Structure 1
Amino acid sequence: MPLNLTIVAVFAIFFFAGPISAETAYPISRIDGMNKTIRLEREPQNISSKTLFTDEVLTAILPSNRLTSITSLASDPNYSNIADRLPKGVAQLDFYVEPILNNFPDLVFAANWSEINKVTQLRQAGIQVYLVNTPFTLAAIEAEITKLGELLNRSTQAADLIANMQGDLASLAEQKAAIERQQWVALDYNSWGTASGADTTWQAILDGVGLINGTAPYEQGDFGQVAMSKELIIKIDPDVLFLPGGLYGADPASNTFYQQVINDPALADVQAVKNRRVYEIPGALRGTYSHHIVRTIRYVSDQLSHDLP
């Protein structure tokens, strides 16, 4: 092929193929969720995940041969959104120093609330430990996914995951607008007598659905929880009430707490109970703070859409 035609052909390949995937240039330094600087000299190949958040995200953006371990919770469908698609051959280990060391990771992802003595022991043994922020807003979830992509040279895959989140949310815009027009006040209520406040992923779910958080005026305690008595439920008088559920697709009739709430004479005049807008949320969807939170938003939106006036 003549030289000029070769140049044209090469240019065409790059032009029509679109942008080249962004790659991480090592060494890199990043600040983790406890303000410690982590420096990676090269792309880590053996990754140990010690949070359910990183279990769910890393299995979405990494090939399984780069994962040396995930948590034991990853296989529990009550908590995990990947229980039905665990990566084959990847060990399930909790946050114990010796098993992690014997797993030979290049990099360990743990939560910013992890036991600091264990983190210190791993670092003293020469293992890099990155403490992940615990996000409770959609923007913070996306930011953490982006950081994981940068650290692991998987920025393109992380960006694709975020784009899928945003696309799924955009597809719910019409449902959200219809729900927002109702100006419904919502509570999530659990058997130990609390509801989730503004500084929790529950607020992100309500914002995504188009609901108002009934706990907003009240003081939050540990983990963003608001003490919730029956008297306070009656005072707030929520239009919608959400209760913890079991596995996805489980019959609410089998849930003792659900039956107690909908049949409690003290709550009979609460709008949510009176108008039969009391819903269960499967545990794995309710508890997630990874990209799967968009599935939770869709689940709640779909439940409410069936009962719109």
Structure 2
Amino acid sequence: MIARLLLPLVLLATGTVHADASRLLSAGSSVTELVFALDAGQHLVAVDSTSALPQDSELPRLGYHRQLSAEGILSTQPTLVIGSDEMGPPTTLKLIRQAGIQVASLPEAMSIAELQTNITHLGELLDRTKQAAQLHQQINTRAQALNTKIEQPKRTIFLLIGDGATVQIAGRNTLADAMIATAGGTNPAIEQVEGYKPVAMETIVAMAPEVILVSRRHLTDTLDDNALFKQFPLLRQTPAADHNAIVPINGKALIGGFGLSTLSEAERLHQNWLSH
């Protein structure tokens, strides 16, 4: 945790605050949304596949942010490559630096406070300190609204559903858990699991989740909750199934650290729980 908080200071001290961001390549959903929020989107020359873009954008996408190719990056002639600390692989970043292109990474934020730290650093890096100050104020206001206490915090889990019948649950030190906590819920998986781990359906039933979060993409692919229950029938035995509380969320909000979309998902959950 201390290393995560200190990294922005290290980057600033090494001079990346003076980066040439005239041709910017952004890798990581949470980083790209901050670039747009700081009114620097016009400098983007490419993004990774996880990044959300305006519908009319024709920016090239260069693959998954953890599996970028040096050839693809160099073809866009960026002056600065910016991403989360999940950006990689390291061999690609080394080649980019050897080509004389500056590379900067933001630590993976796991809270609103750490998101604010990243905004400060990115504002300096992109020469957008005024916009960063305005964004800070907006987020502070939103964070204060999240302080409204949920009288009965919902037992909430996030399931990462893969191909076939594979399921992983989000435990301690995951962005999904941070989002649940920010929204005012509790994650029973943290008592047994750290990170994302495969889990038996019987274990999920024993956790008695009142809310089950699933990537919106998965629920779209499977059409509806009934298809999910057909694939995993034991989920019908949870309180979440009894109360029709299988909740789709934006999976990109859980990539690259706590970002603006993560905050939006936490707000949506919080408001729903306040009204129920």
TM score, norm. by length of structure 2: 0.79
* Of 21, 31, 34, the match for 1:57: 34
Name the structure 2 match of 1:185: 155
Name the structure 1 match of 2:129: 155
Name the structure 1 match of 2:261: 292
Conserved 8 A contact 2:23-2:79? yes
Conserved 8 A contact 1:252-1:280? no
Cα deviation, residue 211, structure 1: 0.6
Which consecutive residues of structure 1, in runs of 5 or more, have no partner in the other structure?
A: 1-28, 75-79
Name the structure 1 match of 2:25: 48
Name the structure 2 match of 1:104: 77
State how 1:60-139 maps to structure 2 within 5 Å: 60-74=37-51, 80=52, 82-84=53-55, 86=57, 90-94=59-63, 95-113=68-86, 114-139=88-113
User: For each residue in 1:4-48, what CA deviation from the matched residue of structure 2 results, as whole angstroms up to 9, or x when unmatched?
Assistant: xxxxxxxxxxxxxxxxxxxxxxxxx9634xx99454656542222
Pair 199,65 (structure 1): closer, same or farther in 2 beyond 3 Å: same
Q: Secondary structure at the match of 2:172?
A: coil
Q: Secondary structure at the match of 1:31?
A: helix
Pair 136,85 (structure 1): closer, same or farther in 2 beyond 3 Å: farther
One-letter identity of the residue aligned with 2:265: T
Conserved 8 A contact 2:160-2:170? no
One-letter identity of the residue aligned with 2:83: A
Pair 124,231 (structure 1): closer, same or farther in 2 beyond 3 Å: same
Q: Between 145-154 and 184-193, report the one with greater CA deviation.
A: 184-193
2:269 matches 1:304: no
Higher relative contact order (CA 8 A, sep 6+): 2
Q: Secondary structure at the match of 1:246?
A: helix
Name the structure 2 match of 1:214: 188
Q: For residues 284 and 229 of structure 1, what CA distance do their matches in structure 2 show?
A: 25
2:137 matches 1:167: no
Conserved 8 A contact 2:40-2:126? no
* Of 120, 142, 145, the match for 1:146: 120
Pair 143,64 (structure 1): closer, same or farther in 2 beyond 3 Å: same
Conserved 8 A contact 1:109-1:129? yes
Conserved 8 A contact 1:267-1:273? yes
One-letter identity of the residue aligned with 2:250: P
User: For each residue in 1:236-279, what CA deviation from the matched residue of structure 2 results, as whole angstroms up to 9, or x when unmatched?
Assistant: 111222222239xx879813x65333896534332222233222
Name the structure 2 match of 1:10: none
Q: Between 187-196 and 258-267, report the one with greater CA deviation.
A: 258-267
Name the structure 1 match of 2:10: 31
Q: For residues 85 and 255 of structure 2, what CA distance do their matches in structure 1 show?
A: 17
One-letter identity of the residue aligned with 1:185: R
TM score, norm. by length of structure 1: 0.72
Pair 30,208 (structure 1): closer, same or farther in 2 beyond 3 Å: closer
Percentage identity across aligned positions?
Answer: 19
Name the structure 1 match of 2:169: 195
One-letter identity of the residue aligned with 1:50: A
Name the structure 1 match of 2:223: 254
Pair 44,277 (structure 1): closer, same or farther in 2 beyond 3 Å: closer
Name the structure 2 match of 1:241: 212
Q: Between 120-129 and 297-306, report the one with greater CA deviation.
A: 297-306
One-letter identity of the residue aligned with 1:108: V
Conserved 8 A contact 2:154-2:273? no
Pair 230,153 (structure 1): closer, same or farther in 2 beyond 3 Å: same
Cα deviation, residue 208, structure 1: 1.9
Q: Secondary structure at the match of 1:48?
A: strand
Conserved 8 A contact 1:189-1:228? no
Q: For residues 71 and 189 of structure 1, what CA distance do their matches in structure 2 show?
A: 24
Pair 121,43 (structure 1): closer, same or farther in 2 beyond 3 Å: closer
Equivalent pairs counted in the alignment come to 259
One-letter identity of the residue aligned with 1:210: G
One-letter identity of the residue aligned with 2:186: I
* Of 247, 255, 273, the match for 1:279: 247
Which consecutive residues of structure 2, in runs of 5 or more, have no partner in the other structure?
A: 1-7
Cα deviation, residue 286, structure 1: 5.0
One-letter identity of the residue aligned with 1:290: G
